[in-house]
Structure 1
Amino acid sequence: MPSEYELERERNIARNKAASTATKSQAKPVQSSRQKRPREEATQPRRQSARLREVVDPNESPSKRKRREAELEEKRAIEAEERMAAEEESRLAKRARHNDLDLVTIAEDEEQADIIALSAAIQSVSQIPNLRDEDAYQSEDEEDDNLVSELREKLQDLKVVSRAKVTQDRIYSAAYHPEKTKDLIFFGDKHGQLGIWDAQASAEEVVDEDGDVAPAADQEGGKYWRLQLHWPATSKSSISCVKIDPMDAHSVYTSSYDCTIRSLSFTSGVSREIFSLEDTLICSMDLAPTGQEIWISDAAGGVWHRDLRQDKSTAVRYGLSDQKIGCISVNAARPNLLLTASNSRSLKIWDTRKLQTLSVDLSDSLPTPPPSSPGGPFLTPISTINTEIDFESVTEFVESKRGKGCLRGEWHHDKSVSSAYWDPSGRRIVSTSYDDHLRLWDIAPAALEKSAQFPSSRPFNRIRHNCQTGKWLTILRAQWSPNRDVYPHFTIGNMNHSLDIFSSKGELITRLADHTKISAVQAVTCSHPSIVERAVSGNGSGRCVLWAPSDDGSF
């Protein structure tokens, strides 16, 4: 008979096993309705000696040997050509694609029926989002506390209502479509893939190997599509930014580490390149409110301006920093005010009206743009005309009497500034930094209207927030809600696996979390442009979450 000690030991072992099982089952990943397809790699003909390929008759005649050697030489030449063709195909497969691409090409892993469904889903949404002339919160309001309380009541009870592995790799960027009748979100991932998620669409049932249907709680929510917009499908093509055209909600812009920016139109079903660099990393981009101009930042400290109504070779580069500019933001109310965040630890506000006077004198001496190359699967990008104003020239201009007012404001952080954005009203700024702080600015409208430098660039609030994401997580960026009908607020991921929402004054509105369904950092976030009770987040494995009222089954 076992002793009391042995019985107690067995009971302890049983309790530990039960506790371990419970811990592992707290946050179950959703079961994907798709399996990742392995990519086909170009295979090259393997060389083999003539001795192994055939047995030579030692008694063959000279004429027969001559014919055999001639046939062997011809065979070797054919194999060499095949090998060279395979090597060239492999080389081209690693280069960025610069030609126009249709939906069938970029949706290579999708079935034809899914491509048709995607096109129908996008074209069914409104083409032009609702535009508002005035911001309800332009001035100080004595009822700010009441407005914050109202916002907290709407947001604090948001729950996980849908989740899915929208992309195959780490989420890098996101954009929420303005359509009010559905939750349509675009996610850019580490390997150049654009995931499009209709988060509350009817999902397909997931059947396991035994033929059993997975429980609803463990299934993926909604319907999603994956488009390989940028190439190659490696970390060299990470989608750093996703933007929806402010005047045409059927068009989506994506910037990538493959040194290109592409525009995808769901009206025509074509993705075309609108900007490219040969060897400089594109970090960020933003569109003017008219949708006719785009501003782009690069890893060498430059900012490019491109008028989308002109040829892409007419872009102009301004050297605004001696280090990488990781984020750029255009003021929606005053498009001439440009915000940059740099590894030089500085946040700067530029007046582009002054800045662009630097390139006016060069415009008359520009060479004629080269003609476009004929079509093909891989084209060499058109070389950008050498319209570049270097960092030293910009610095000299800013310090001169002529350049007074070009640099409207500047603030130095303790470490690199990872992001900085204007809010929808165009008067507030939020920045994130590796010094583990969020900073907030609220610039008076009177100061914005003037052309002189701001009287003070000091932030009015500084919030402690862990931004040490490391190598395997996407950088945390505080993102303003585009909704201008409610009190200004922004979202940011938390290293403790929650989604934090702050007011424009820096008050914590709510901290959304669900440890039974989420076990990873929600690094990338964004909000619905017109429905306040909507937010999404994405993690390092491509899994995305929709936060909404739990009892909200329709719009």
Structure 2
Amino acid sequence: MPKTAYELEREANIARNRALLEQLQVKEAVSALGIPAKPSPEPKAKPIQPSKKAKAKSEKEVVEAPRRQSSRLKRAAVDPNESPAKKRKREQDEEKLRRKQEEERLAEEERAREAKRPRHHELSLATLGEREEWDGSTLSGIRTLFRSIAEKALPRTLSRHDAYIFDVEEEEELELAALRKRLQKLKVVSRAKVTQDRVYSAAYHPEPTKDLVFFGDKHGQLGVWDAQAAREYDEDDSTPASDREGGVYWRLQPHWPATSKSSISCIKFDPFNAHSVYTSAYDCTVRIISFESGLSREVFSMDDTLINSIDIPPASHEMWISDAAGGLTHLDLREDKSKARWYQLSDQKIGSVSVNPLQPTFLLTASNSRILKVWDARRLESIPVLENSLDFNLDRVNEYCQSKAGKACQRGEFEHGKSVSSAYWDPRGRTIVSTSYDDAIRLWDIGPASLAKDTPFPKFKPFSRMKHNCQTGKWVTILRAQWSTNPDVYPHFTIGNMDHSLNVFSCKGDLLAKLQDKSRITAVQAVTCSHPTIVGRIASGNASGRCVLWAPGDENE
């Protein structure tokens, strides 16, 4: 039955009275009148609170720049009776002043231009921390951390092709069940805003006694996070413990300028002893930071071509570099970068390159051309050099692949529905995982027998295709499936989920765990990585630079 005009007017009066009383904060009067209160909204996850140092820095007084004055007003009045000699001297002084001001202006413009150019020279830790205005204790802390790592031998251990290949299905099921049980116990144990901008890349250091994670952000900043290190808090800080930053972090600026032109696209540790870290960025450079010396130096650069990915074969001095021009560069780290070979393997961007860890001659490329390809590096290096040029364009590569000598150069290819975001070999060098904008994760199994033959793969199709939302949009980093490089555990990979969770899959495509905490995490964990030597340690980062460590909530469980 429709309400009368009187009832409608009465309800409107009640609403106005309630709003007025609430504004006056007279809650007792509201309840006495029997006016129902508005339902309280559900509590949302509170973001972690950054340290007060960052707040104090933003509250500094802004110094007002001096106002510009007219040059005509600054000139002294000219004496109408001045002698010719005084006039010449005055004009000479004015000319000197004009030249000096022009030189200062040009010098200031050059400094401004220099501040926007990539840095190609060596940089110390103090220089890397200039943007954060480190104090003496902060600089001393990261130096101590790096030196403690450099004193330890951390060799990379390799898996085997036949690792975790079971003849009895029940044995594999038991292995999977044990891993699933461990992973499902993981919880959020530490959070911090490690970088100032969106996280683009991440790598977990193999140090077994620490949870040391390196994050690269959109503006060329490298965040070093000791996620479970003890941290001192101010006595006046009333923030609840669950909302405070966890661990200790340092922010370095190896790539310049500090804009989106310097986004760190990839992070890799030295495969021999993990005593240094390599970073590639959109400033068209690859740099290395030595933990022993504390110096950052350039190892490779390109002319106006964005570098998207790097990979380093284990126990090798080589590096493979993919770029936005569809090229793949082979660099010997012991030689000058001028001797690097560049192969154009696609007419569009190659977003990732992955080297087979057990047979480094096999390369995996993922391109915006929608095609995933497996290459034999030995055949690429056999392409004849013409006119002393070490650049091989797409026409020359295709011509060589169609020749008899280059027949086995390209071992296999598979076309996706849309561009391929990433593709990586697993630690055994036999399983491939790819992610694509066609909202799918695909898995391949390449047995040692197929790799041993000097011919293209007779069949190269994925054995598993899983639906996964990869539509990250403009503000979220592209989702990439990242293998755990731990050779002592059943092969598995992690990938972010658009529902603010993190998924862990086995090499067979089984969902092992879905990690989430709605009370503390309300953003997409787009970038993930796993500890190389400890099972059950996963780190992730989001679009605001906030990072999370997932670990067992109770080590005794």
Note if contact 1:136-1:485 (Cα within 8 Å) is conserved in structure 2. no
- Cα 1:291–1:203 change in 2 (3 A) is farther
Query: Which structure 2 residues correspond to residues 495-506 of structure 1 after superposition, within 5 A?
Result: 495-506=498-509
Partner of 2:186: 158
Deviations along 1:227-271, whole A, 9 cap, x unmatched?
Answer: 100000000000000001111211100000000000111111111
Larger radius of gyration: 2
In the alignment, the residues of structure 2 paired with residue 15 and residue 307 of structure 1 have an alpha-carbon distance, to the nearest angstrom, of 71
Aligned equivalent of 2:269, options 244, 247, 256? 244
- Cα 1:107–1:31 change in 2 (3 A) is closer
Note if contact 1:33-1:220 (Cα within 8 Å) is conserved in structure 2. no
In the alignment, the residues of structure 1 paired with residue 546 and residue 554 of structure 2 have an alpha-carbon distance, to the nearest angstrom, of 23
How many aligned positions are there?
A: 524
- Secondary structure of 1:332's counterpart equals coil
Note if contact 1:175-1:243 (Cα within 8 Å) is conserved in structure 2. yes
Tell me the CA shift for residue 26 of structure 1: 2.8
Partner of 2:154: 128
Query: Which structure 2 residues correspond to residues 389-468 of structure 1 after superposition, within 5 A?
Result: 389-468=392-471
- Cα 1:72–1:416 change in 2 (3 A) is same
Q: Which amino acid aligns with 1:538?
A: G
Partner of 2:27: none
Query: Which structure 2 residues correspond to residues 480-499 of structure 1 after superposition, within 5 A?
Result: 480-499=483-502
Tell me the CA shift for residue 28 of structure 1: 3.1
Q: Which amino acid aligns with 2:459?
A: S
In the alignment, the residues of structure 2 paired with residue 138 and residue 501 of structure 1 have an alpha-carbon distance, to the nearest angstrom, of 18
Aligned equivalent of 2:128, options 95, 99, 106? 106
Q: Does 1:51 align with 2:77?
A: no
In the alignment, the residues of structure 2 paired with residue 212 and residue 543 of structure 1 have an alpha-carbon distance, to the nearest angstrom, of 20
- Secondary structure of 2:54's counterpart equals coil
Note if contact 2:437-2:470 (Cα within 8 Å) is conserved in structure 1. yes
Q: Does 1:541 align with 2:544?
A: yes
Query: Which structure 2 residues correspond to residues 326-365 of structure 1 after superposition, within 5 A?
Result: 326-359=351-384, 361-362=385-386
Query: Which structure 2 residues correspond to residues 161-176 of structure 1 after superposition, within 5 A?
Result: 161-176=189-204
Q: Which moved more, 1:530-539 or 1:112-121?
A: 112-121
- TM-score using structure 2 length: 0.89
Tell me the CA shift for residue 105 of structure 1: 1.0
Query: Which structure 2 residues correspond to residues 208-223 of structure 1 after superposition, within 5 A?
Result: 211-223=236-248
Deviations along 1:475-517, whole A, 9 cap, x unmatched?
Answer: 0000001111111110000001101101111111111001111
Deviations along 1:130-173, whole A, 9 cap, x unmatched?
Answer: 52453663534422211111111000121100010001111000
RMSD between aligned alpha carbons?
Answer: 2.6
Partner of 2:14: 6
In the alignment, the residues of structure 2 paired with residue 415 and residue 100 of structure 1 have an alpha-carbon distance, to the nearest angstrom, of 41
Tell me the CA shift for residue 112 of structure 1: 2.5
In the alignment, the residues of structure 1 paired with residue 508 and residue 52 of structure 2 have an alpha-carbon distance, to the nearest angstrom, of 42
- Cα 1:97–1:553 change in 2 (3 A) is farther
Note if contact 2:154-2:207 (Cα within 8 Å) is conserved in structure 1. no
Partner of 1:75: 97
Note if contact 1:162-1:220 (Cα within 8 Å) is conserved in structure 2. yes
In the alignment, the residues of structure 2 paired with residue 31 and residue 188 of structure 1 have an alpha-carbon distance, to the nearest angstrom, of 19
- Cα 1:552–1:75 change in 2 (3 A) is farther
Q: Which amino acid aligns with 1:107?
A: G
Note if contact 2:275-2:292 (Cα within 8 Å) is conserved in structure 1. yes
Tell me the CA shift for residue 299 of structure 1: 0.6
Note if contact 1:45-1:83 (Cα within 8 Å) is conserved in structure 2. no
In the alignment, the residues of structure 2 paired with residue 15 and residue 401 of structure 1 have an alpha-carbon distance, to the nearest angstrom, of 82
Partner of 2:54: 35
- Cα 1:14–1:256 change in 2 (3 A) is farther
- Cα 1:433–1:34 change in 2 (3 A) is farther
- Secondary structure of 2:267's counterpart equals strand
Query: Which structure 2 residues correspond to residues 283-362 of structure 1 after superposition, within 5 A?
Result: 283-359=308-384, 361-362=385-386
Partner of 2:222: 194
Deviations along 1:271-304, whole A, 9 cap, x unmatched?
Answer: 1111100111111110011240000011111100
Deviations along 1:190-220, whole A, 9 cap, x unmatched?
Answer: 011110000000113156xxx4342211111
In the alignment, the residues of structure 2 paired with residue 230 and residue 502 of structure 1 have an alpha-carbon distance, to the nearest angstrom, of 34
Q: Which amino acid aligns with 1:131?
A: T
- Cα 1:33–1:476 change in 2 (3 A) is farther
In the alignment, the residues of structure 1 paired with residue 495 and residue 52 of structure 2 have an alpha-carbon distance, to the nearest angstrom, of 29
- Cα 1:165–1:65 change in 2 (3 A) is same
Note if contact 1:354-1:405 (Cα within 8 Å) is conserved in structure 2. yes
Tell me the CA shift for residue 122 of structure 1: 2.2
Query: Which structure 2 residues correspond to residues 362-373 of structure 1 after superposition, within 5 A?
Result: 362=386, 366=388
Q: Which runs of 5+ in 2 are unaligned?
A: 1-8, 19-29
Aligned equivalent of 1:117, options 141, 160, 165? 141
Q: Which amino acid aligns with 1:511?
A: K
Q: Which runs of 5+ in 1 are unaligned?
A: 367-385
Tell me the CA shift for residue 62 of structure 1: 4.0
Partner of 1:97: 119
Q: Which amino acid aligns with 1:337?
A: F
Query: Which structure 2 residues correspond to residues 214-293 of structure 1 after superposition, within 5 A?
Result: 214-293=239-318
Tell me the CA shift for residue 355 of structure 1: 1.1
- TM-score using structure 1 length: 0.89
In the alignment, the residues of structure 2 paired with residue 228 and residue 509 of structure 1 have an alpha-carbon distance, to the nearest angstrom, of 37
Q: Which amino acid aligns with 1:49?
A: S
- Cα 1:268–1:14 change in 2 (3 A) is farther
Tell me the CA shift for residue 443 of structure 1: 1.3
Q: Which moved more, 1:132-141 or 1:328-337?
A: 132-141
In the alignment, the residues of structure 1 paired with residue 127 and residue 524 of structure 2 have an alpha-carbon distance, to the nearest angstrom, of 33
Note if contact 1:480-1:491 (Cα within 8 Å) is conserved in structure 2. yes
Q: Which amino acid aligns with 2:499?
A: N
- Secondary structure of 1:357's counterpart equals coil
